[in-house]
Amino acid sequence: MSTNAISVEAGPLSAGQRIAMHYFVAAMILFFAQILFGVIAGLQYIYPDLFFGQLDFSVARMVHINAMIVWLLFGFMGAVYWLVEDEAGTDLVGVGLAKINFWILTAAVTVVVLVYLFVQIGPGTKTTLWLINEGREYIEAPRWADIGIVFCVLVFFYNVSATFMKGRWSGISGVLVLDLVALAGLYVAGMYFTPNISVDQHWWWWVIHLWVEATWEVLVGCIMAWGLIKTLGANRRIVTTWLYIEVAMMFGSGILGLGHHYFWIGTPEYWFTIGGFFSALEPVPLVAMVVHAVYDAGRHGFKSNNHPALAWLIAHAFGNFFGAGVWGFMHTLPQINLYTHGTQWTSSHGHLAFFGAYATINIAIIYLAIQRVRGNVWMSAELADRGWKWKWSLGLLNAGVLGMTMALLIAGYDQSFIERALEGSTWSGYFKAQQSAWFLQGMVWRMIFGWVTTAGIVLLFWDLLTIGKTEKRKIKDISVVSTLEHAPA
């Protein structure tokens, strides 16, 4: 088993860490693209003529959400490359392979996005399916890129598992490797084409729901466990035990929770009961994750080597709980979903969940990596610039997304009420809701908080480029103290 020791010495970055940095840089560039296209799509709600015929809403929205999926995946792969050597206690097995893999993946993503932007409209045929766009929300990449992505993920999987095999296994790495199998396997379900829209949606949800509510959650559970050891020197036995419990509960509720997407797509009625019941249980593991993080942070008196990373890990624990757990629970019973389905309510949940559960933890790991890049310098209290940049970007990003979430929730309430409850889901009811004052104001407020979010991301980039640069003090070895603290009596 690996130890909790945090190496205070900082030589050059290891091969795995250098590859991880490539992934982190690409992730941040794509994060910026996500926000750029989000701002455009948000403005188009207020000024419907904006870029009409040049960059339509459908395309801006598509790039916004696909860029999000890809940057989060890049971030996760970076995080795994970052921790794999430390966790395995040995060097990465295929360094050259990992490098080539990174560039192939990045080139493919660039080509796919350029094609989205250059070929925006036209009939959907077998050829467009292969070359332009697969037409599946969130994973729109054409078939050629799909195959390439699967290949790249397999190479990544080989590299990670072979490194653990060469070095040593731990509870965290065992869960991680099994989870990567599920993560890669599920993607294939999204490549199955059928002209029957019910069947198509049935399989598409296997990727979308089972990714974010099962395999991604488990992946961040592993990253969180490792992150708590690194930021706080948390006890490995305790975090591993939590990890097992969370994973069991996550799969227990998340797999059948899939049913909350089968209410209205033409699947049999028993999904109302199954989906309603199991998805209502989904918040339980998320509560466990908050308790776990806060327990560990409290146990160590919040003494950490890296305040920004710890703050973002805590933001993750709460963001995951509120965005996924609370906002998801609100509309997961079929009786409620009948009214809220596909309204801005859904978008409200989508924003808080993706940001709260996944953007946050990626940012946390990047702060951990930056600390190492700067030579394991002090990144806690009394930073050179008093840490105003990281604190303000943390505040602006979280306030921005929370503000957007509330604005969208109000717009969604209005839609559910007018379009569904009063007008009985008619075509004219749809337009009545879209033109009501609360909806229109909600879109304006979303934009105001969208700008707050944008300011937060600009500050985040500035901070990542500068934090710790002039710092001379080294980190303190907090692990020795805390390991003793945890020693069994």
Q: Which is nearer to Fe ion, 87 or 213 (CB)?
A: 213
83, 177 contact by CB (below 8 A): no
CB of 227: closest distance to ligand HEM in angstroms?
A: 17
AA letter at 174? G
Residue 389 contacts Fe ion per CB under 5 A: no
- CA distances, 214 to each of 141, 162, 210, 315, 326 (Å): 22, 24, 5, 20, 17
Q: Give the per-residue contact string, 75-114, with ligand HEM (x = CB under 6 A; - = no).
A: ----------------------------------------
- CA distances, 73 to each of 84, 221, 284 (Å): 16, 15, 25
Residue 209 contacts Fe ion per CB under 5 A: yes
Q: Considering only CA atoms, which of 100, 181, 196, 112 is closest in space to residue 146? A: 112
| CA distance linking residue 15 with residue 25, whole number of Å | 16
CB of 309: closest distance to ligand HEM in angstroms?
A: 19
Residue 345 backbone dihedrals phi, psi, to 5 degrees = -60, -45
Residue 415 contacts ligand HEM per CB under 6 A: no
Q: Which is nearer to ligand HEM, 241 or 434 (CB)?
A: 434
26, interface contact from Fe ion, ligand HEM, none, CB < 5-8 Å by kind: none
Near ligand HEM by CB under 6 A, which window of 15-23, 77-85, 126-134, 344-352? 344-352
CB of 72: closest distance to ligand HEM in angstroms?
A: 8
What sign has the CA pseudo-torsion 279, 284, 285, 286? positive
**Strand positions, DSSP E, 228-285:** none
Residue 283 contacts ligand HEM per CB under 6 A: yes
Near ligand HEM by CB under 6 A, which window of 107-115, 124-132, 239-247, 340-348? 340-348
Window 135-154: residues binding ligand HEM (CB under 6 A): 137
Cβ contacts of residue 63 below 8 Å, gap of 6+?
33, 34, 37, 113, 116, 117
65, 137 contact by CB (below 8 A): yes
Near Fe ion by CB under 5 A, which window of 82-90, 186-194, 205-213, 309-317? 205-213
21, interface contact from ligand HEM, Fe ion, none, CB < 5-8 Å by kind: none
| CA distance linking residue 152 with residue 136, whole number of Å | 20
- CA distances, 212 to each of 75, 79, 108, 314, 352 (Å): 15, 17, 23, 19, 13
CB of 395: closest distance to ligand HEM in angstroms?
A: 15
468, 56 contact by CB (below 8 A): no
For Cα atoms 166, 10, 462, give the angle at the middle one, nearest 5 degrees: 110
Q: Give the per-residue contact string, 348-377, with ligand HEM (x = CB under 6 A; - = no).
A: -xxx-xxx-x-x------------------
Q: Which is nearer to ligand HEM, 130 or 438 (CB)?
A: 438
Q: Give the per-residue contact string, 211-230, with ligand HEM (x = CB under 6 A; - = no).
A: -xx-----------------
What sign has the CA pseudo-torsion 184, 185, 189, 192? positive
Coil, strand or helix at 382 = coil
For 292, the token pair is 């776990």
Near ligand HEM by CB under 6 A, which window of 77-85, 224-232, 341-349, 475-483? 341-349
Residue 61 contacts ligand HEM per CB under 6 A: yes
* Residues of this chain that bind ligand HEM (CB under 6 A): 35, 38-39, 41-42, 45, 61, 64-65, 68, 137, 212-213, 260-261, 279, 282-283, 320, 324-325, 328-329, 331-332, 337, 341-342, 346-347, 349-351, 353-355, 357, 359, 401, 450, 453-454
* Residues of this chain that bind Fe ion (CB under 5 A): 209, 213
